[in-house]
Chains A and B, each alone.
Chain A
Amino acid sequence: MEVSRYVTIGRYVPGDSVLHRLDPRTKLLTFGLLVSTLLVVKGYVPYLLLLGFAVVLLLLSRIPVRYVLAGLRPALWVLAILWVFQIIFSGSSYPDHPTLFRLGSWRATWGGVHAGALNVLRISVLYLLTSLLTLTAGLVELADAGEMLLSPLARLGVPLNEVALVFTIALRFVPTLAEELERLVKAQISRGARLDEGGFLGRARRLIPLVVPLFLSIFDRAEDLILAMEARCYRGGRGRSKAVAFAFQPLDALAAVVVLAVVAAAWLTGLMLPF
């Protein structure tokens, strides 16, 4: 019944940890660096290294570990299926590997088992890193940081401020719409709707009375927002200063050095240890 419970994953958790105090630009840059390393480098050692680093960051963030892992639980099935698929269908990529078992014309090999395991590991680390970013940095902070980092593009005529604004508003509306949907679902059930019964078609048909009012309320809210922005004379970002100015601290330099060291270690181990 609580729709909003399912969208808490990756929601900002205010705090005062080392991670929270980092400049959001540092967070974005180091996050980008770690993720691109994860996507380019391949091998158990570098992945375990990155996983270990992500776990250390998670502990540093002082966000309850159980909460972060709970978000991964729904994805476990997907990861398991991904692994199985990779084992079964990747035989042709490893022609010289011995066959483990056959499934029709498909051939499972150790190569597939390893490739699948690596992918599961890679996605888990990716999930952890992404969660850590969104759990320790507010959306507005991230949008502002992104805007600042991309500011050279503004000279080329890219409407960065508007893009950042649209991005922030869109994300900000997600929990609001989840709440709205929850209200509508409850109101329907309270008036005798049986949303959970009937076949697929029946259930889909019953969504219509939810979707229409949801859209109406989105338009209402958008209109309110436009009025509020007009009332405060919003004219885009030109010539405006920021309410919160970011400034790099020694902590950010330290973070950059540590992340660079981890990334370098991951590259080197990936190149030198071929498994």
Chain B
Amino acid sequence: MSRALIEVKGLFHTYHPNTPFAREALRGVDLKLESGQVLGLVGPSPSGKSTLLQYLNGLYVPQPDQGKVWVLGQDTAAPDTSLWEIRRRVALLFQQPEQQLFEPTVLRDVALGLRNFGVALEDELEKRVREALERAGLDPERVLRRYSRTLSGGERRRVALACILALEPEVLLLDDPLSGLDPRGRWRLLGVLKSLAERGISMVIASTRLDYLIPLVDSLAVMADGRILAFGSLHEVLNREDVLRAAGLQLPEIWRVQQELRSRGLPLGEPAADPAEAARRIARALGVA
């Protein structure tokens, strides 16, 4: 039986079980990611997004009574599944990953995963590191020998991204990748993620903000209190205002403008996520283009 790239069925997770501090983080989550898809995971904090991503990376493995997780067709709880292999092929960028650079220099940090997983020979390490840095939107010449601590926050986050891109994963799991960056850092990283999506890399991107996700994703799952409230294509989910309100989310402004125009009788189709595309459609509807 062929399975989706990632499939989650009835997943439950409780932190500190059997103590007065027990907290249910996941309460019966179902999810599917098909190959080549970019899935947005949106919801307030805490809603269980980070916990879910850690299950997909094999950092957590469900107990028999906690549900099932299949990654790359393999049941992560099965004894013959190599979680180590899964972690290379389905790589996770943690929340605020710039705080988790372990090595003093950028070169050594990006090489860390390559060495651990043994995916590159010693003499081609530097080449692979350079490629990864370039794909993460950094100039290898400038940053390669720098101390990670001397880079800006946005640069460090892209170094962290390079660390996992170097492993050439098939799926990227990104935990709130755009939060806490300045506008320039955000735009640079957004561009990098877009080009990765165009190259056909599947992704799951968690965020508390819809406007960060909309330019990137083609499907969306809304999470709140450890449950998935809605799951479907971007347009399907964004049309369900009741769900968004229940999760305390706001429609992005670009979406609201197009909806308002439509409700005032302008013949617009489904809203567009890209500002230029939205402008084109509005101009056409107004008969000025």
Contacts and interface: CB of A to CB of B under 8 A. Distances in A.
A, B from the same assembly: yes
Interface of A: 1-2, 4-5, 8, 11, 13, 63-64, 66-67, 70, 183-184, 186-194, 209, 212-213, 217
Contact of B99 (A4, A191, A217): A217
B19 A67 contact: yes
Contacts of A67: 18-20
Given A13-B20, A64-B20, A213-B101, 16 more contacts: A1-B59, A1-B60, A2-B15, A5-B16, A13-B21, A67-B20, A186-B54, A186-B94, A187-B100, A190-B59, A190-B92, A190-B94, A191-B87, A191-B164, A192-B167, A194-B84
Contacts of A8: 16, 19, 21
* B: interface residue count bin: 20 to 34
Contacts of A70: 18-19
B209 to A, nearest CB: 22
Contacts, number: 65
30 contacts: A1-B59, A1-B60, A2-B15, A4-B16, A8-B16, A13-B21, A63-B20, A64-B20, A67-B18, A67-B19, A70-B19, A183-B94, A183-B100, A184-B100, A186-B59, A186-B94, A187-B102, A190-B87, A190-B92, A190-B94, A191-B87, A191-B163, A191-B164, A192-B88, A192-B113, A192-B117, A209-B102, A209-B103, A213-B101, A213-B102
B165 interface: no
Given A187-B100, A190-B92, A66 B18 contact: yes
Contacts of A13: 20-21
Contacts of A64: 19-20
Which among B97, B99, B112 has the greatest number of chain A C-beta atoms within 10 A? B99
A136 B117 CA distance: 47
Contacts of B202: none
Nearest to B93: A190
Task: Determine the main DSSP class of A at the interface with B.
Answer: helix
A193 B94 CA distance: 15
Contacts of A212: 102
Interface of B: 15-16, 18-21, 54, 57, 59-60, 84, 87-88, 91-92, 94, 97, 99-103, 112-113, 116-117, 163-164, 167
Nearest to B91: A190
A1 B55 CA distance: 12
In the complex, the 8 A-B pairs of residues with the closest C-beta atoms, listed nearest first: A192-B116, A187-B100, A192-B117, A191-B113, A209-B102, A13-B20, A190-B92, A67-B19
B116 A193 contact: yes
Nearest to A194: B84
Nearest to A183: B100
Nearest to B21: A8
A184 B97 CA distance: 10
A192 B58 CA distance: 11
A66 B19 CA distance: 8
Contacts of B102: 184, 187-188, 209, 212-213
A185 to B, nearest CB: 9
B57 A190 contact: yes
A215 to B, nearest CB: 12
A11 B92 CA distance: 32
A190 B117 CA distance: 10
Contacts of B88: 192
A192 B102 CA distance: 13
Nearest to A14: B20
A217 to B, nearest CB: 7
Contacts of B167: 192
Contacts of B92: 190
A64 to B, nearest CB: 6
A193 B19 CA distance: 30
Nearest to A4: B16
A217 B18 CA distance: 31
A66 B22 CA distance: 13
Nearest to A5: B16
Given A67-B18, A194-B84, A189 B100 contact: no
A184 B102 CA distance: 9
